[in-house]
Structure 1
């Protein structure tokens, strides 16, 4: 898995993920999120467009991060999930806890509301 961050507006970061997120690469996700979690009020959109696979270890990293983010008054949302990832998130119930948008721009626009 490869992770990069881009800032949109002064208060929203987009975490772009590519490849496969699993037990072998979850540490990379945690490292990428660690810097974003240091922000006073983390507002993060996770761009899943390039993510081809995610297992339970990867999902767990998102859940753990959400707890920290929520405690600081921020939020984490997802955008651009392929059909496999969208179905996975629905099946495990993540759609009840995370906002999931079709496109990154939609997630960023929702942050302005």
Structure 2
């Protein structure tokens, strides 16, 4: 079940899909947009046992500020017992993620469907909201 949510910022849209929190990044992710996104990202990654998908399908530009956001989200989710997956198919962004070593920690999936399929809820957990 997909639940749409209002876009809290023009660079980040948060929605629920099949029991997962999908964080869709949009536009240019640079130092200015990262400062806008960080508090929202923190709010969405603070829940225990969260299932989170970071979706970079809608980005046009991505720099080291974006890498810091991904690493921060991953750390926060894992520290709270959750699971996180990354969606990214853009060649230049993938190259940055690989060079930074983040691809080993957060292997990118090419589509949202594949990422949602990879994030199976724990036994007994409801998948819809």
TM-score, normalising length from structure 2? 0.79
Picking from 54, 65, 89, the partner of 1:81 is 89
The equivalent residue for 1:44 is: 52
Shift of 1:29: 2.1
Alignment correspondent of 1:53:
61
Between Structure 1 and Structure 2, the one with more strand by share is 1
User: Structure 2 unaligned runs (5+)?
Assistant: 1-9, 122-129
CA apart distance, 1:72: 0.8
The higher radius of gyration belongs to 2
The one of 80, 86, 90 equivalent to 1:72 is: 80
| 4+ residue segments displaced more than 4 Å | none
Structure 1, unaligned stretches of length 5 or more? none
Q: What is the aligned partner in structure 1 of residue 3 from structure 2?
A: none
Distance 1:51 1:40 in 2: 28
Is contact 1:17-1:51 (8 Å) kept? yes
| Aligned with residue 33 of structure 2, among 10, 25, 28 | 25
TM superposition score normalised by structure 1: 0.89
The RMSD of aligned alpha carbons is 1.6
- CA offsets, 1:61-87, max 9 Å, x none? 221222221111112221133111111
Pairing partner for 2:14 from 1, 5, 17: 5
